[in-house]
Structure 1
Amino acid sequence: SVTMASYPDLHGLVILKTGNYTARHGNTAMSSVGYLGYSITAGIILGNYPLGEELCRVAIALADKYGNSASSSIIYFVAGALISHWTRPAREGLAYLEEAVRHGVEAGDVLIMGYAQVLLLEMPYWMGLPLEEFKQLVHRKGRIARQLKHDNLLNNVALYEKLVSLLQEREEGETPPGIKAARWQESGVREIVQKDGASLGTYHILDLYLNYLAGNYAAALQAAEQVYPFMGSIQGFLISAEFVFYHSLAIAACFRELPACERRRYRRIFRKNLRQVEKWASFCPENFAHKHWLLAAEKARLEGRVEEAMGLYDRAAQSAQENGYRQNQALACELAAKFYLSLGLKRVAGAYMEDAFRGYCRWGAFAKADQLAACYPDLLAGARRPGETLEEAPAAVREGVAGLVMPGAGEITAGMGMLQLAGEAAAAAGEAGIQKLFAAFLAHAMKVLGADKGYLIMEKSDEFFVELARENHRELPAEQAVPLEEFPLLPKAVIRYVARTLKTVAFNHREQWGIFAVDPYLAEYNPKSVVCLPLLFQGIPYGVAYFENSILPGVFGEEQLEAVKLMAAQMAYVNQVKSYLMHRGERLQKKGNGQLVEPLSERELEVLRLIAAGLSNKEIAERLDMTVNTAKTHIRNIYGKLQVNRRVQAVEKAKQMHIL
């Protein structure tokens, strides 16, 4: 471990030479170190994370077999610090680090013990441990650091102790309230860690992080530039992913305000980072899927893809919640709120901002919660910390309640439509099931748009069926779903295009028909206004909604269309709809041994991953350099092997079976 700390290049050469010797002559007590070198090379350097994990497991097995505590402490440390989190939930890495400490104690290796304790401090923070619990952890690690006289551990205790104090501090009368990122540089912690390259890299990452949370995006970008000289010290550690994540978020936050000369460079950095996070998410969605979806949402926002951004923000928040990343769930809600506010959807923005406020409070970042209350008093009027009285709330909240003015009755917002939909849907589901819930959505959407016809077309076994039809405010009777190809009263070219591209089609005059002018239905019936939009659940398409006004042109305005898009996006998160999409289906097996009748081929796995990423058949075909028909054939094969009949079900079943 002394060689690893003082001469890392020499240490790397030694362990790779050990691996080469093992490959030629067979296993010995030191072979585990050689496999460890191969593991680092395959995973961290070459990016083949599954192979890196596999080789690391071989190293652990050999270390356990020969019982060499000195080797075992290093191997378990590397497993927990550099290897595990790229393919397994981050909490599993903590178990490896605890083992590294145990073996370090047996071997008397103070250096490895201290480095493992650093990661046992750092990783829980980024995993979303509540800050009150984290403060206690910092104090415990501080005592250990003083006992071991371990400089790197002492440095990290100082860094994270100051970080928590800035996130939690709340001084009455401060203007404005919130995170005081400038105090990070004034705190003196830089001087403490000045001689430790790894700690100094962490210092600059935390500087970037605090400035981003405080809304100081230009300062965040400046801090990011200071990290690059220390990348060699943080490569492979979980904090390196946090750097990529927050650097990208800072770029997205201020991209439109950047000088033209800098946009090209930052656009290139953002795209590179997004590809990297997407790769990490493909190998370990528990740790990285929410990060990928949040960055993808920000990209969609910047590129004006409104509906896609809606779904991505929700997917990010849900994934963060499911995997315990409390702070990132709150952040996803905050960014979603700002996004909806930019669209003029104030009530919807308020709902998301309240979720963000409460999320930061539950995490313990009270300075951040106060900052939101001060910046968005209209959205957070009445919002208080859990268990807090109105008198104890921030001044901005108290003033917001006193001066609360409700929007006028004529304001068109998707939030009100969604509240009505959710109420009626919940009641309807108890009476007649999912069809009534979809009917409630269809009726509300038609009312908002001013449509006289509405249809829900759902995907099943990669084909489309008309599930629900409504004309002139009455639901048409339908004993069973009708295949789209057998339904004469719809523009099939429009619906196929939307299903294939996942793009909304809207036109208010015949002159806007363009490529669809040859559609037989349009040519014969000449509807005056048409809207067709994809239906998505967690970014995965499950159907299409079609609306028209057969009499009046120019009916479907932009505000109304955005409201219906929001209703469609939110409908997928009503519990009955989620259950229907993920579990309903004649071929979906609820029981069984959890094994595939026939394994998926490598090509089918590639297609399945792209389905999970929300790509359409056309996009899958383009990405994998195949025809759309070939892509559809692979999808049908996937459905058959997984015993499902919808994309959403395929992804859910694959996650349950740990295929994704």
Structure 2
Amino acid sequence: GNCAISALSYGTYAIIAWNTYRDIHLCYQFGQIALKTLENFHAPKLKPMVTYVSTTFSIHHQFHLKNTLDDLLSVYDLGIKIGDLEQAAYSKQIHSEHSFWLGRELITLKEEITNHHQNIAQLKQDVALQIHSINWQSVLNLIQKGERKLDFSGEVYDEQKMFPVHQKFNNRQAIFSLYLQKLFNYYLFNDFTKAFEFATFAKDYIASVPARFIVNVFYFYYSLAMLAIYPQLSPEEKEKTLAEVIEIQQQCKEWAEHTSMNLLHKYCLVEAEKYRVLGNNIEAMEYYDRAISLAKENEYVNEEALANELAAKFYLEWGKEKIAQMYMAEAYYCYIRWGAKAKVRDLVKRYSELLGNIAQQEEDNDITEYENVDHNSNQDINQESHQEINQESHQNINVPSHNSLTNFSNNQTTFGSFASHSSFGNSLDMAAVIKASQVLSEKIEMEQLLSSLMRVTMENAGASKCVILLSKDENLNLIVTAISTSSESEFIKITFPSVRLNDCEDIPISVINNVKRQGKIFVADDAREIVNLSADRYILREQPQSILCMPIIHQGKMLGIFYLENNFITALFTQQRLEVLKLLITQAAIALENAKLYQNLAEVNKSLEESNHSLEEKVEVRTQELNKKNQILNQAIEDLKNTQTQLIQSEKMSGLGQMVAGIAHEINNPINFIHGNISHTSGYVQDLIDLISLYQKEGYSTPEIQEKLEEVDLDFLLTDLPKILESMNMGSSRIRDIVLSLRNFSRLDESGMKPVDIHEGIDNTLMILQHRLKAKSDRPEIAVIKEYQSFSEINCYAGQLNQVFMNILSNAIDALDDAFASGKWSKDKPIIRISTELVDSNSTSNLVIKIADNASGIPEEIRRKIFDPFFTTKPVGSGTGLGLSISYQIVVDKHKGKLTCNSYSQEGTEFVIVIPNNT
């Protein structure tokens, strides 16, 4: 039978089960048996030790590591209560250890670890204190402002002094913890050779920490370090290293099956790195995304940051800089959320070009940890408002104390930038950001840009008022105010008053001036309750509740100030909304610079035209010179327009390609599962049918069976079920074909010229447009007639040529739709005819592609302009006028071919694409 001491024995068996068999399920079971056994006996002196053993060595094998934290603190309380000081000290040490590897926010963790260290020191438990000091120093290294980040000779731990002490007293746990932290730090800061060196040191001491969570951490970083140095190894060393990584991964995969919330994202990240070094980019892409998603889902922000960083490096090495930029920006924000300031600075220093405006914006806004603002910031606002009122009433207003302004989470107000950023995949409304980016990139004229910016911002921020102030020289001049109203005809009203800041009564001037001076973000959850703002006349009059004021900064230069408020809701501008707004403002800063350039160019052009007119009247002799200058300027304008056209379309197609590839990638796996399992399901169903038939043949029946057969109508089921399975198989096959077409159409990894099947590109485009070819209420189905000539692959830019097919086929469908909508259709049915032909002449070979419709044709006056940038006959909002212009550049400029249009009234239109065959 059991006795109280049996509980401790079962806890010991849990460690043995792991150490001997690496069986984490058995380890967990013994840990639970230990706790349940202890419940059957009154043994308070054993409770701290048994609970400590179960919590430290077994629970994390089945549940999330964060579930151990409360139990470890309870062990400390129990140990203090009954006098088991050793377990009390170790529980605090393990609590700090688990908190660190969980990726808890470091500034908060610093305060917690400081308190734990004091508790352990008071208990005079030197072994636990030494190990705890190592983890504490690692936290300080990550959040410190200085350059030293890999040195463990800091203010709380000095490895030069303590390592001999560890060796003297054979404190193997402390030695392992030191080597593990150095492995982690060197790897995090890209010194992979050193990381691997300390991994080999730590490996000799891993037996001192059996069944502990840090064993998983060690194998994770050990594998990453081996893969990081893999490219520099000899062929023999590569084979040996890869074999060891695979062996570790097999073990980690088994463990991850039991505790996926702690280990699966680690396993996936190592798999991604393994496929990277092996050159298998498709699998690497999938595993990077899985690692990021799982780390985020399970709240390991430290490893979410690392996974994003490694993915960014992977895409950068692959030459896909824009995709790398997205992942690196996410890594940047994750490291900020974690509070690893030293790593953030290291990231900015190494990848300033990738982080670009994001890093510059944060640097300009003075990224800080969760600290209160200093007293001077509060005093500035109060003094301005005080002077404003005092000029009229001579009232005295006291300057508030430092504690009157606290951080964002306390529903007060904060100067500066937040250190916590949400993920792109979840917290940000990415659809809104993409839409806004597209809208802003299309606007060049200043008032249109400002109108679009304010509408998009107010829609996404929920603001009732928006003000933009743009800088001219050293002064801020109010350019535009947007105020939302309840009018059904015009929800957002926008005016352009062009009023100087000091003459404007529609904003809190003291807040604007403070943000102008400080260059930092100002957020107020409820402006009515902030004493510092009580003297501002606007605040007194309008009583706004939520306020956000942020500088618009581009390349270190303040372009202006953005002000938002809401009069009906408090605490509106949360950290998530702030992230969206910061991203929008970064985009807006770029768009504003472009708009200013365009505006200045237009002003120069206008001025030059006026000068030309005047000079032509006065000095006829200088006419030729002025005309020459005018030609140069017009060419500059044309070049600018062409550049802007290419940039806009490039960004659009890049975003579309990434979105299409992403959607296809996400759909592909589940549909493969469905499609692959249908055949198995059909076999199982047929087996069941055969079994039922055999039962019927043998005459086995009871009244209950007979009654059930009649109830379910077995004959009908046997007839209909195969049909259902077949229709499911057809449907899943159709989805797979569509996914394949989307992936082939996007062709993000084929930006260079290479031999491709032209017919496949046309067919993929037709499949994507299939929904538009189908019959509608006002017209029959559009018939597509293909007249393909058989020939080998053609050397071309596949992705860009697919874009040409998409533009021309979409226009053909639009023309047929318009012909039916006009009510003048007199032909049998709508037709699109596509033909391909390889034509040889004069020792040259050209591919000729003809795409023709039988719509109403294009009038001559319109046909002459169809390849001009921004020319469109579609209603506002239905077309940009860039499709055929871009198509012309792709065919003529990129492929050195020809693109012509033949059209006759009431007969239809034919586009002819000629591509030189250089294969």
Residue of 141, 145, 159 corresponding to 1:189: 159
Residue of 95, 98, 108 corresponding to 2:70: 95
Residue of 656, 666, 678 corresponding to 1:420: 656
- The Cα shift of 1:127 comes to 0.5
Residue of 793, 796, 819 corresponding to 1:554: 793
The code of the aligned residue for 1:78 comes to: V
Residue of 42, 56, 72 corresponding to 1:81: 56
Q: Does 1:278 align with 2:247?
A: no
- Aligned residue number for residue 627 of structure 1: none
Q: CA deviation digits over 1:217-252, x for unaligned, max 9?
A: 001111111112211212211111111111111111
- Aligned residue number for residue 138 of structure 1: 113
Q: Contact 2:10–2:34 at 8 Å: present in 1 too?
A: yes
The code of the aligned residue for 1:292 comes to: Y
Cα distance, 1:414–1:204 mapped onto 2, change above 3 Å: farther
Q: Contact 1:384–1:390 at 8 Å: present in 2 too?
A: no
Residue of 347, 350, 355 corresponding to 1:375: 350
- The Cα shift of 1:365 comes to 0.6
Q: Contact 2:15–2:210 at 8 Å: present in 1 too?
A: no
The structure with the larger Rg is 2
Cα distance, 1:461–1:246 mapped onto 2, change above 3 Å: closer
Q: Contact 1:128–1:327 at 8 Å: present in 2 too?
A: yes
Cα distance, 1:155–1:385 mapped onto 2, change above 3 Å: farther
Q: Contact 2:8–2:34 at 8 Å: present in 1 too?
A: yes
Q: CA deviation digits over 1:596-654, x for unaligned, max 9?
A: xxxxxxxxxxxxxxxxxxxxxxxxxxxxxxxxxxxxxxxxxxxxxxxxxxxxxxxxxxx
Q: CA deviation digits over 1:502-549, x for unaligned, max 9?
A: xx9xx9679xxxxxxxxxxxxxx99699999xxxxxxxxxxxxxxx99
- Aligned residue number for residue 8 of structure 1: none
Q: Does 1:230 align with 2:212?
A: no
Q: CA deviation digits over 1:290-321, x for unaligned, max 9?
A: 10111111111122221221121111111111
Q: Contact 2:756–2:796 at 8 Å: present in 1 too?
A: no
Cα distance, 1:84–1:458 mapped onto 2, change above 3 Å: closer
Which whole-Å CA distance do the structure 1 matches of 2:367 and 2:732 have between them?
61
Which whole-Å CA distance do the structure 1 matches of 2:245 and 2:289 have between them?
21
- The Cα shift of 1:77 comes to 0.9
Which whole-Å CA distance do the structure 1 matches of 2:3 and 2:666 have between them?
67
Cα distance, 1:490–1:388 mapped onto 2, change above 3 Å: closer
- Aligned residue number for residue 301 of structure 1: 276
- The Cα shift of 1:554 comes to 3.1
Which whole-Å CA distance do the structure 1 matches of 2:366 and 2:123 have between them?
46
Which whole-Å CA distance do the structure 2 matches of 1:41 and 1:149 have between them?
29
Q: CA deviation digits over 1:554-590, x for unaligned, max 9?
A: 35879859x99xxxxxxxxxxxxxxxxxxxxxxxxxx
Cα distance, 1:107–1:261 mapped onto 2, change above 3 Å: same
- Aligned residue number for residue 450 of structure 1: none
Which whole-Å CA distance do the structure 2 matches of 1:343 and 1:264 have between them?
23
Q: Does 1:40 align with 2:9?
A: no
- The Cα shift of 1:61 comes to 1.2
- Aligned residue number for residue 56 of structure 1: 31
Q: Contact 1:32–1:63 at 8 Å: present in 2 too?
A: yes
- The Cα shift of 1:180 comes to 3.3
Root-mean-square deviation (CA, aligned residues, Å) is: 4.6
The code of the aligned residue for 1:226 comes to: F
Q: Contact 2:301–2:338 at 8 Å: present in 1 too?
A: yes
Q: CA deviation digits over 1:34-92, x for unaligned, max 9?
A: 32233222244312222222222121111122121232222111111111111111122
Q: Contact 2:761–2:798 at 8 Å: present in 1 too?
A: no
Which whole-Å CA distance do the structure 2 matches of 1:103 and 1:441 have between them?
49
Q: Contact 2:268–2:290 at 8 Å: present in 1 too?
A: yes
Cα distance, 1:531–1:292 mapped onto 2, change above 3 Å: farther
Which whole-Å CA distance do the structure 2 matches of 1:51 and 1:557 have between them?
60
Which whole-Å CA distance do the structure 1 matches of 2:660 and 2:363 have between them?
32
- Aligned residue number for residue 295 of structure 2: 320
Which whole-Å CA distance do the structure 1 matches of 2:355 and 2:297 have between them?
25
TM-score by length of 2: 0.44
Residue of 311, 320, 338 corresponding to 1:345: 320
Q: Contact 1:337–1:349 at 8 Å: present in 2 too?
A: yes
- Aligned residue number for residue 588 of structure 1: none
* 2:127 alignment partner, SS class: helix
Cα distance, 1:491–1:161 mapped onto 2, change above 3 Å: closer
Q: Contact 2:34–2:54 at 8 Å: present in 1 too?
A: no
How many residues get paired? Answer: 452
Q: Does 1:216 align with 2:191?
A: yes
Which whole-Å CA distance do the structure 2 matches of 1:491 and 1:319 have between them?
26
Q: Contact 1:380–1:400 at 8 Å: present in 2 too?
A: no
- The Cα shift of 1:418 comes to 5.7
The code of the aligned residue for 1:462 comes to: N
* 2:3 alignment partner, SS class: coil
**Structure 2, gaps ≥5 residues long:** 369-416, 418-552, 558-589, 595-642, 680-724, 744-748, 766-785, 804-919
Q: Contact 2:348–2:359 at 8 Å: present in 1 too?
A: no
The code of the aligned residue for 2:150 comes to: A
Q: Contact 2:143–2:339 at 8 Å: present in 1 too?
A: yes
- Aligned residue number for residue 462 of structure 1: 677
Q: Contact 2:173–2:209 at 8 Å: present in 1 too?
A: yes
Cα distance, 1:110–1:528 mapped onto 2, change above 3 Å: closer
* 2:4 alignment partner, SS class: coil
Cα distance, 1:165–1:106 mapped onto 2, change above 3 Å: closer
* 1:379 alignment partner, SS class: helix
* 1:381 alignment partner, SS class: helix
The code of the aligned residue for 1:131 comes to: L
- Aligned residue number for residue 539 of structure 2: none
- Aligned residue number for residue 334 of structure 1: 309
Cα distance, 1:204–1:185 mapped onto 2, change above 3 Å: farther
Residue of 65, 76, 97 corresponding to 1:122: 97
Cα distance, 1:457–1:223 mapped onto 2, change above 3 Å: closer
**Matched ranges for 1:561-572 at <5 A:** none
Q: Contact 1:79–1:96 at 8 Å: present in 2 too?
A: no
> Sequence identity of aligned pairs in percent?
23
Which whole-Å CA distance do the structure 2 matches of 1:155 and 1:549 have between them?
80
- The Cα shift of 1:209 comes to 0.6
* 2:354 alignment partner, SS class: coil
- Aligned residue number for residue 625 of structure 2: none
- Aligned residue number for residue 357 of structure 1: 332
* 2:69 alignment partner, SS class: helix
- Aligned residue number for residue 239 of structure 1: 214
Which whole-Å CA distance do the structure 2 matches of 1:376 and 1:307 have between them?
24
Higher normalized strand content (fraction of residues): 2
**Structure 1, gaps ≥5 residues long:** 1-25, 427-436, 443-455, 465-479, 499-503, 511-524, 533-547, 565-660
- The Cα shift of 1:214 comes to 0.9
Q: Contact 2:14–2:57 at 8 Å: present in 1 too?
A: no
- Aligned residue number for residue 518 of structure 2: none
TM-score by length of 1: 0.59
Which whole-Å CA distance do the structure 2 matches of 1:371 and 1:421 have between them?
31
- The Cα shift of 1:391 comes to 6.4
Q: Contact 2:4–2:43 at 8 Å: present in 1 too?
A: yes
